[in-house]
Chains A and B, each alone.
With several copies, the nearest count.
Chain A
Amino acid sequence: MGVPWGLGVLQGVDLECIRGQRRLFSKLSFTVQAGEALWVSGPNGSGKTSLLRILCTLLAPESGEVRWRGRPVRELGEAYRAGLTYIGHAVAVKDDLSSLENLRFALAQDGCRVAEAALIDTLARFGLAGREELPARVLSQGQRRRVSLARLPFCADRALWILDEPLTALDVQAVELMHALITAHLVRGGVVVLTSHQPIDLKDVSVQHLRMVD
Chain B
Amino acid sequence: MEAVLDATPDRRTGLLAVFSSVVQRDLLLAMRRRADVLTSFFFFIIVVSLFPLGVGPEPNTLREIAPGVVWVAALLASMLALHRLLAADYADGTLEQLVLSPKPLSLLMLGKMLAHWLVTGIPLILIAPLLGLQFDLPGPALAVMALGLLLGTPVLSMLGAIGAALTLGVRGASGLIALLVLPLYIPVLIFGAGAVSAAVSGLSVEGHLSMLAAFLLFSAVIAPWAAAAAVRIAVE
Contact = CB atoms under 8 A, between A and B. Distances in A.
* A contacting B, Cβ–Cβ less than 8 Å: yes
Interface of A: 56-60, 78-79, 81-82, 84, 86, 88-97, 101, 105-114, 118, 121-122, 125, 135, 153-157, 177, 180-181, 184
Contacts of B32: 96-97, 135
B100 A86 contact: yes
A90 B236 contact: no
A105 to B, nearest CB: 4
Contact of A112 (B9, B28, B171, B236): B9
A110, A125, A135: which has the most chain B beta carbons within 10 Å?
Answer: A110
A113 to B, nearest CB: 5
Contact of A111 (B3, B11, B28, B171): B11
Given A86-B97, A111-B13, A156-B8, 6 more contacts: A84-B100, A109-B22, A111-B101, A114-B10, A125-B3, A157-B8
A92 B5 contact: no
| For the complex of A and B, 10 pairs with smallest distance between CB atoms | A90-B93, A108-B21, A112-B9, A82-B102, A92-B93, A96-B32, A184-B5, A105-B25, A153-B7, A154-B9
A101 B11 contact: no
Contacts of A101: 25, 28
A105 B9 contact: no
A163 to B, nearest CB: 13
Interface string B1-28: 1011111111101000110011011001
B96 interface: yes
B235 interface: yes
Contacts of A94: 25, 29, 88, 92, 94
A118 B7 contact: yes
B173 to A, nearest CB: 11
B222 interface: no
B91 interface: yes
Contacts of A184: 5-6
Given A96-B33, A112-B9, A157-B9, A89 B1 contact: no
Contact of A108 (B17, B93, B236): B17
Interface of B: 1, 3-11, 13, 17-18, 21-22, 24-25, 28-29, 32-33, 88, 91-94, 96-103, 108, 171, 235-236
B4 A81 contact: no
Identify whether the interface residues of B are mostly helix, strand, loop, or mixed.
helix
Contacts of B24: 105
Nearest to A144: B92
A58 B9 CA distance: 25
Nearest to A88: B93
A181 to B, nearest CB: 6
A177 B93 CA distance: 23
B11 to A, nearest CB: 5
A99 B103 CA distance: 24
Given A105-B21, A108-B21, A109-B18, A91 B92 contact: yes
Given A97-B28, A109-B97, A156-B6, A59 B13 contact: no
Nearest to A185: B5
Contact of B21 (A84, A109, A125): A109
A101 B99 CA distance: 20
B193 to A, nearest CB: 36
Given A109-B98, A113-B17, A96 B93 contact: no
A93 B101 contact: no
12 contacts: A58-B100, A58-B236, A81-B100, A94-B88, A105-B25, A111-B11, A111-B17, A113-B13, A114-B7, A125-B3, A156-B6, A156-B8
A156 B5 contact: yes
Nearest to A106: B97
B86 to A, nearest CB: 13
Contacts of A95: 171
Contacts of A157: 8-9, 11
Contacts of A111: 11, 13, 17-18, 101-103
Nearest to A119: B7
B5 A114 contact: no
Given A81-B101, A89-B93, A90-B91, A154 B18 contact: no
